Amino acid sequence: MENNIEKKYNVWITILSIAIPLVVAILFKVKLRDLGFDVKPLSFLPPIYATINGITAVVLVWAVISIKNGKRKLHENLMKTAIALSVAFLAMYVAYHMTSEATKYGGEGTLKAIYFFILITHITLSIVTIPLVLVTYVRALAEKFDKHKKIAKITFPIWLYVAVTGVIVYLMISPYYVK
């Protein structure tokens, strides 16, 4: 049976799991210049948010190692850091896309197919990751560590994949950014 903490957060998990991808998709299409704002493209952001993805991957691995070594408080702090990094990434990603035109991948052939496979799986799994991370985190807050551990075994590899492929997508498309 769910305790009060889980019940309290389940509604928010559902709302955020739907709202975040929806808002990001909408904001991705909004260009501040089209709304009359005189803004310069935030072209410096992609390498920063790609680096944040890389740091997130390192933090996730470090968090798993720490809990396996019985360092629960370190694990907790690292997971909070990974969540904060993901939120920072998302804010920068949206800000970039609200001020800049989309960059088209310029590669061809097999590389293009690989790029789009990685991009599509990255985007799809980033959406899946939202409720997984939130449920995993709430189960830890509720001190339901048996349930937390079970879902964390699913959440971790998916979140790690999203973080790593974020860096790969950036590295593959970066030669095509407008300077």
Q: Is the pLDDT of residue 1 over 50?
A: no
Identity of the residue numbered 150: K
Q: What is the pLDDT of residue 37?
A: 84
What CATH number does residue 62 fall under? 1.20.120.80
pLDDT of residue 2: 53
Model pLDDT for residues 121-179, shown as the tens digit of each residue: 999 999 999 999 999 999 999 999 999 999 999 999 999 999 999 999 999 999 998 76
Cβ proximity of 155 and 128 under 8 Å: no
What 3-state DSSP class applies to 1?
A: coil
Looking at residue 130, what is its pLDDT?
A: 97
Give tens-digit pLDDT for 11-64.
899 999 999 999 999 988 888 888 888 888 898 999 999 999 999 999 999 999
> To which residue do tokens 């998302």 refer?
90
Domain span holding position 159: 4-176
Provide the number of structural domains found in the chain: 1
